[in-house]
Structures are given as C-alpha cells and as structure tokens.
Structure 1
Amino acid sequence: MELITAATFIFVSIITILLVYDYYIHNNRRGKYISKIPGPKSYPIIGNALDVMVPLEDIWHFFRRIGRDHYPVSKFWIVNWPVVNVHHPDDVEIILSSTKNIEKNIFYELLHPWLKEGLLTSKGDKWRSRRKILTPAFHFNILQEFSQTLIEQTKNLIETLQSESKSGEVVKELLPILSKFTLNTICETAMGVTVDKKSTDQDNYRKSIYEIGLIFYYRAVRPWLKNEWIFSLTKKGKENIKILKTLHNFTSKIIGERKKYHKETKGIYLNEFTNKIDGNKDTEDIEDKNSKKRLAFLDLLIAASEKNHVIDDEGIREEVDTFVFEGHDTTAMALFFTILLLAEHTDIQTIARQEVDEILNETNGQLTYSAIQKVSYLERCIKESLRMYPSVPIIGRNITEDIKLKHCFVPAGSILNIQIFDTHRDPNFWERPNIYDPDRFLPNNTKNRHPFSYVPFSAGPRNCIGQKFAMLELKTVLAGLLHNFKFEAMESAANIRILPDLVIRCAHPVNVKFIPIKK
C-alpha cells in the first residue's frame, strides 16, 4: 500500500510539474505572442504531438492542411517547441532577406552527427568564413569545365538506357537511375574522383541517405530524442550509428583519394587552380598528362587547408559530407519530377525536344556548353517543375531576434518553417497553381511577379551556393535525354504520394517508359 501511495505521489508530482512548466511556456513572453498566431487545437504538455507523431505521409498532409486552414500563417506545438509556419511571399521576403535571423532552426541540429557544421548547418562567423572560401568553386570558369564532365556522364546514361531498350523501349524505375547519375556527377565534378562502377559503396551510400532522412523526422517530432546520449540508447539510435559510419566512410574515401592525387603530383595543380579562379589562367582544363581529373570544389578546400590553414581536416569532411549529399539528392529529385511532368504532358515534351533538336543540329548532335545555354524553353520547363515540386520543400530558421512579419510577430526563441511547397502553389500569386505551364516563366509573365513567390534555391544571404551548377546539370542531362528518347508516363504526377524528408520524396517506386528515337 505504501509503495502504491508513493508511486501515485511521484506520478501526480511529475504531472503537476509538467503542467506548471506547460503553463509557463505558453504564458511567458514568447508564448503570449505565439498564442496570437492561429493554428490547430493543441493539448496541455503534448501540444500537437498527436498530429505529428504519425507516418511521414500524414505529416506531409498535416503541413498542407494547416497551411490551407490558417492562411497565411499558422503555428503548432511539438511538446514545448512552438513552430511557426509561413508561406506568404511578403513574409518569406522578410525572413530570407534578414541578415540577423539566418541561423537554421533546432531541427538541423539533428544533422550534426552527420554533417557537423558544414555550410548547411553552420552559423555566425564560421558560416560566413566557409561561404567565402567555397564561393569561388562555382566561378563561371569552373562551371564551364564542369560541363564537359556533365556531358560525359549524360552520354553514359543515354548509352545505358539504349543498351537496355533493344526491344524498342525500356521501363525504368526513375529515381534510382537518376540518383546514381547525380551522385556520379557530383563526385567527378566537385570532388574530382570517379566512383567505381563495380563497387557497392554508391548503392550503400544512397540507401543510407534515405534511411537517415527517415530517422531525422522520427527524432524531429520527439523532442526527448534530441539529446544524443538518450537517442544513442534507443534502437533507432543504434541504427543511426551504423548509417553514419557508411556515410562517413564514403566521403572519407573521396577525400583520401583526392589528397593522394595531390601528393603524387606534389600539389602543383592546386596553385594553378587558385590562379584560374582569380582569372589569371584561360579556361582550358588543368590536367595532369596522365590524369583526367579536373580540379574543383574539394581541391579548393585542400588548398585552403594547406596554404592558409583556415580550414582543417574536420572542416573539409564537413563540407564534403554536405555537398555530396546536397549536390546529388536535390538534383535527382528535380530531374525526377521534370521527367515525370514532361512524360505526362506530351505537348510540352514535344516543344522541348524540338528546341533541343534544333540547337543540337548546329553541333552535329553533340552536347556542348554553348548549346546548353540556348535551351530557353527547356529551362522554363525545369523552373516550372521546381515550382510545383521544389527539391527542398521546407526551409527552417531559428528566430534569434524578434521579427515583425507582415502577417504576425514572431518572438525570439521561436522555430520558424518556410513552407516553400505552399508558397509555390499559393493561388493568390499563381493562377491555376496545380497546372504544369512552363510559359509562366516567360519574361513578360515574370516581370510583375512577387520575387519571393518563387524560391526553389532559397534567397537572401543563405541562398543555394550551387544553384548555377544545378541548373547546368539539369539542362545538360534533360537535353541529352530528350534528344534521344521520348518519355511516356506510367502514372500521373498528381497521384504520386509525397513524403517530407531532407528533400522531397515519393512514397513509392515510380516508373517511366523511355522510347528510343531513331536517328
């Protein structure tokens, strides 16, 4: 009886403490301002945990629902975390243009065991320093050199599909072949290494990316798992350790191979690389007579480490982990949805192919950097795809200083999410937003549009550093595929079930039919 009484006392005491804490959280300065923002009903202590501790697909629908029901701004609580959601372009502009509230929110901290403090997750002076170091890696001269590798990889992809279509067509699950392509290209361009086609490392890496995304959302809606020690004791935590080992081994191998290359060549090409970025060299490829490895992003980090010591080996690993992930996964999803939409809209696909064919007829069917710059209609197709299905559908910010938006006041200490997916489909700024129409991006149709109604690469100080590279890659591979294949849809894009993840995901395999075009 005494044990029961003691247990009851402890239980009641814990509940009382939690209720008092919950009252404080909701009635302190931050809580009072948050309470003025509309949102779904929440409960004491747990907040909206029952809404978000659900399968990923249901979380996606929850985001869409509160965006519709509480337009233009909403909030919900994950236990004691207030999350403010915005997607109106006026509010998006204020946030993304801010030079003060540029820290990523606490959810990004869940990525620290993997990405540490790379460009995606770092803040303050460290972020500014890294951004300054890395910007030259996407200089115009370097992008021109990247184009040759992108063209070579596109040819490999085309040849692979052609070899599998001897019967006249080939049906492929779309995402695996695209993510393999983009991982190859980011490794060979930005990292200067070639992935061994016979190795299983690439497949294991891509599988681990998917798995760590699932774990990310699992932790994101369970605040008690934010603590690394507590998380490490759980089943998911133990799985996470194995996944991290796979991810880090893959990038460590890349760094090791590239450092070995520079050691063997006594580092002479790092000096040439620095000069080229400064404009002191022409745009011919810098190559060892016995090597086809072009110098790029990773070389810039190695050079900075060896010459100025502004970044150490740990810092190099942080940025390589960040860019290998971001440089392949986001582009793969952009390719995925663009091909899917072109396959479904055969009239638009035909116009895009006619443009590509006309341009490539001038080069005897060969992709070139200058030819890729001319595919204006295809570029509009890509932009429209990124409008409907932005690769990164949510951007998070940690509100470190009070900020007055057009539609609400957000106090310091709040978590803020920009729901880009909803921004891009806001009917107040996009007529018939669920219709695929590349002509939205004709000059006459864009000049009066709100500049922050379309932000697939973010905007402001923390915009995507690699967006020009991404567009070059997207135009290159799509031009090559359109010139050689017709795409036939196996299902409508509108029927694709979507999951929230580190990038936008589909919840099930999606196939597309590739039909070779006889030359």
Structure 2
Amino acid sequence: MHILFDKYYPIGKVWSFCTYIVSIRHPDDLETILSSTKHIEKGLPYNMLHPWFGTGLLTSTGAKWHARRKILTPAFHFNILNQFVDILIKEGDCMTKSLKDVGGTVVKDLVPFVSEHTLNAICETAMGISLQKFDEFQQQYRNAVHDIIELLVYRMLRPWLYKDLLFSLLPQGRKQKEILKILHRFTEKIIAERKIYHERTNDQYLKNIDKEIDDVEVCGIKKKQLAMLDLLIAASRDNDLTDLDIREEVDTFMFEGHDTTAISITFVLLLLAEHKDVQERVRVEVDNAMQEDGGKLTRRSLQNLSYLERCLKEALRLYPSVFSILRNVGEDVKLHSYVIPAGTILHLNIYGVHRDPNFWSNPEVFDPDRFLPERMQNRHPYSYLPFSAGPRNCIGQKFGLLELKAMVAPLVHNFYLEPVDYLKDIRLQIDLIIRPRHPVHIKFIPISRKSNTFKSNTDTI
C-alpha cells in the first residue's frame, strides 16, 4: 500500500466496493485538514470502535467532543505531569528490575514484556489505581485487547460487514461480544476502585480538585495524586457525566495509553540495538544525568536527556504508532491541487509524509540529529505528525514522551542492547496502530558498573 501511495504522489483515490477513500500526504494538504475546526469528524471505519470505546474522546465529534476535551485537558497540565514523573520512573525501574532478577543475559519478546509495564503506568497515573491487586485480570485484559483488534481488522477489510446487525449474527460478532465483556469488566473494576477511595474520603479530594493540594491525609487516608479518572468522577458528581460516559473515556485511554506506548518503546529499543554508536551516546547522557542526581533518575535528570529525546522523536518518525488518520469531509475543501467534495473519506498518510524524501533527506536512515533545533527551523510543521496536529491532536503527547524517556533510560543505563530480530526482516502489521506482525526479540546484556564490562561471557557488542 505504501508503494501504491508513492506511485500516485501526492494524492490518490482507492475504491472499495461502493466506497472510495482519497489519500493525501503532502504537508500543505495535511495542514489544511488538520488545522481546521470544520473537518474533525472521524471516518466511517471508526464507527466499528463504538462497541468498545463508545463515543469517547477518540470517536466523538461536535459538541460532545468539545465538552470531553474541556473536561480532560487539565489532567495533562504541566503541574500534573510533574506528579506523574515519579510513577513513570518507578515503573521503568520495575521493568529493569524484572530483567535483573532473571540474572545474566536475557532475551525478551518485546511487545508483551513492555506492554505489561505500560499498562501499569497508565493505570497508576491516569487512573490512580495500582494493578497489583488486579494481577489475574491484567493478562486477561491484554489478551482481550489483542483479540478484539484482530476482529476489528477482520471487519474493516470486509465492507459488507460494516452493518452492525449483520456482524452481530456472525460467529465473529458473537466472539466480539464476549471479548467486550472482559474489556469492560476490567475498566469497570478500575472505576469502582477509584470511586471507593473518594467515598471513604467523603469526596473531600474531589471538592478541592481545582486547587493545589499538598500531600495531606484526608480522613486518615493519604491523598492520592490527581488522575484523569478523578476529573471524570468529579464531573459525574455534577451530573455532567454518567457511569457509561466515564467508562467510554477510561476504555479509550486504557488502550491508547498502553498499547501505542508499548509499540513505540519496542521500536526505540530495536533501533538502539542496531545502532551501537547512538545507543552508547544515549548511555553516556543517561549516566551523566543520573550521576548529577545521586545515581538515580529524577524529574530533573529526565528533562536533561536531550539526545535521548531526539532518538525518541526520530523513532516516532520512522515508526509512528498512529500511522494514518481518517476524516470525513463535511463540505467541499480546496487542497493544493484538487477540490475534495463533501462526503469524502480522507486518508491522512502520516507514515508516508514521515518518509517523504521531499521533506526528509535519506528518510529511511535513523538519524536523531534531524531533531537538532537548527535543523528543525525551516521544516514544514506538518511533515512530522506522530501525535497528529490541530484541534484534535493527541491530548497525551507530553505524557507519552515522558513515559518513553522514563522507560528507556533505565534499560540503557543497566543493559547493553543487542538485536536478535532485525528491523529489515520485520513485517509490519497495520491495524489500529502499526506493529510487528510477529514476535520480535532483543538481547539485554547486564552492565557491570565496577568494571564497565558485561556480566555475561560476551566480550563485544
């Protein structure tokens, strides 16, 4: 498909039965659509997400989308993100410790390994709930996410199954119903746990949610940090949201906050493993930053990891988790070379623009220094869209970058990364996000800090 869009650059039309989609990837055209407040309605295939996400922030439009965005934006304020950093660092340390506990060199299937920890991170930050008490449900939830994505892709590739009634009568429709029970049961448990906390504190924390509150004890219970879920619960107390409304947003953020991040970390680690010079430069930067802060990662040291941040941005250029966006055009719109008629489904090709040689020199090469300030100055702002752009940009993009830093930094500090599966051999699967089609592995070789050599028998990287 990527080759096809290259052939019909910068705009092409794809027919599927009676439906056609116009694909665009020129930054000028992407800017026209993404910067507009008129073209914010998601494309038809997003309707198939409604049984899972309802009409939450990802899938809603119009007044409902504006209202939800307004409620949730404070959860990602700079001051709140600062509170989250400690949790993210702790989860990064847990991931590192799990490798250390094995002892010696460890080979890991990256996606399931990383996603376990990104799920913990999103629950403790955005939901305010630790998953320690949900161990038995966590794996079940992640398996259910995998299964429902397979069903969604199966359905999206068969337009005759777009009608809900027909799909519900098929074995796949009945299977989806069972999977949804698992997914919704998990999020409902998380919501219930957080509500119990507020009931035990007589909602005193919710009453002061708009104020700066120090870590004090309320009714003998230590105040937890502000979570996105608290904002939703507070809105429900004011009768602005129902329990179903809360679940819509929790389902949305549970998936987007753990799966996309896990895939991003996977590709970052694969790239670092294959580029030893870059990996070593990251390691030196992390080591120096930690040394300045007493040998540990802190909020301040994470902010000082500028080269690692450039590596993360370059990995997101090559492998953007959200590789494309679909939008419905509600009225005629003039693009660079064409007028797109009202009612058209537009495919915004993010993967394509990220690898467009007209805007990126040697686009297939991993080069973190592309994101040096002086090299970014004259770059088209819509040639790089890992978190989308405009009014419907990703609300959690700053959170996502913080999490990537907090997870990757301790791994590079404690281990040499060696490739087992190489990126050139990895087949990509396109579903809701971009991901490896098959398991991908990496080798973690412990670093002995005393002698700065491997603890294993490996002599060289």
Short-chain TM bin? over 0.9
Partners of 1:273 and 1:286 within 8 A in 2: no
The letter for the 2-side match of 1:196 is Q
Inter-partner Cα distance in structure 2 for 1:106 and 1:363? 50
Is it true that 1:379 corresponds to 2:379 in the alignment? Answer: no
CA RMSD in angstroms, aligned pairs only: 1.3
Partners of 2:263 and 2:321 within 8 A in 1: yes
Q: Which has the larger radius of gyration?
A: 1
Match of 1:172 in 2: 108
Secondary structure at the residue paired with 1:275? coil
- Aligned counterpart in structure 1 of residue 338 of structure 2, from 408, 411, 431: 408
Inter-partner Cα distance in structure 2 for 1:221 and 1:262? 44
Inter-partner Cα distance in structure 2 for 1:468 and 1:178? 19
Partners of 2:205 and 2:223 within 8 A in 1: no
- Aligned counterpart in structure 1 of residue 46 of structure 2, from 94, 100, 108: 108
Inter-partner Cα distance in structure 2 for 1:351 and 1:177? 25
Match of 1:233 in 2: 169
- Aligned counterpart in structure 1 of residue 250 of structure 2, from 312, 320, 332: 320
Inter-partner Cα distance in structure 2 for 1:403 and 1:141? 39
The letter for the 1-side match of 2:143 is K
Match of 2:232 in 1: 301
After the TM superposition, which residues 181-330 of structure 1 pair with which residues of structure 2 at under 5 Å, given as runs?
A: 181-196=117-132, 199-276=135-212, 281=213, 284-285=214-215, 290-291=221-222, 293-306=224-237, 308-330=238-260
Match of 2:380 in 1: 450
1:38-64 C-alpha deviation (Å, 9 max, x unpaired): xxxxxxxxxxxxxxxxxxxxxxxxx21
Is it true that 1:502 corresponds to 2:440 in the alignment? Answer: no
Alignment length (residue pairs): 448
After the TM superposition, which residues 7-86 of structure 1 pair with which residues of structure 2 at under 5 Å, given as runs?
A: 63-86=1-24
Measured after TM superposition, the shift of residue 162 of structure 1 is: 0.3
1:370-392 C-alpha deviation (Å, 9 max, x unpaired): 11011000000000000000011
Inter-partner Cα distance in structure 2 for 1:347 and 1:197? 41
1:309-354 C-alpha deviation (Å, 9 max, x unpaired): 2222111010000011101111111101001100110100000110
C-alpha distance 163-76 of structure 1, shift in aligned 2 (>3 A): same
Query: Which sections of structure 2, spanning at least 5 residues, go unmatched?
Result: 450-461
After the TM superposition, which residues 434-445 of structure 1 pair with which residues of structure 2 at under 5 Å, given as runs?
A: 434-445=364-375
Inter-partner Cα distance in structure 2 for 1:407 and 1:298? 45
Partners of 2:215 and 2:222 within 8 A in 1: no
Partners of 2:428 and 2:436 within 8 A in 1: yes
Inter-partner Cα distance in structure 1 for 2:33 and 2:216? 41
Is it true that 1:417 corresponds to 2:353 in the alignment? Answer: no
- Aligned counterpart in structure 1 of residue 75 of structure 2, from 129, 137, 161: 137
Which is further off, 405-414 or 249-258?
405-414
Inter-partner Cα distance in structure 2 for 1:420 and 1:484? 34
Secondary structure at the residue paired with 2:115? helix
Inter-partner Cα distance in structure 2 for 1:375 and 1:197? 34
Measured after TM superposition, the shift of residue 208 of structure 1 is: 1.5
Partners of 1:74 and 1:84 within 8 A in 2: yes
Match of 2:459 in 1: none
C-alpha distance 408-192 of structure 1, shift in aligned 2 (>3 A): same
TM-score, normalised via structure 2 length: 0.95
Q: Identity of counterpart residues, as a percentage?
A: 52
Secondary structure at the residue paired with 1:475? helix
Secondary structure at the residue paired with 1:434? coil
Measured after TM superposition, the shift of residue 271 of structure 1 is: 2.4
Inter-partner Cα distance in structure 2 for 1:290 and 1:342? 43
Is it true that 1:156 corresponds to 2:125 in the alignment? Answer: no
Measured after TM superposition, the shift of residue 290 of structure 1 is: 4.1
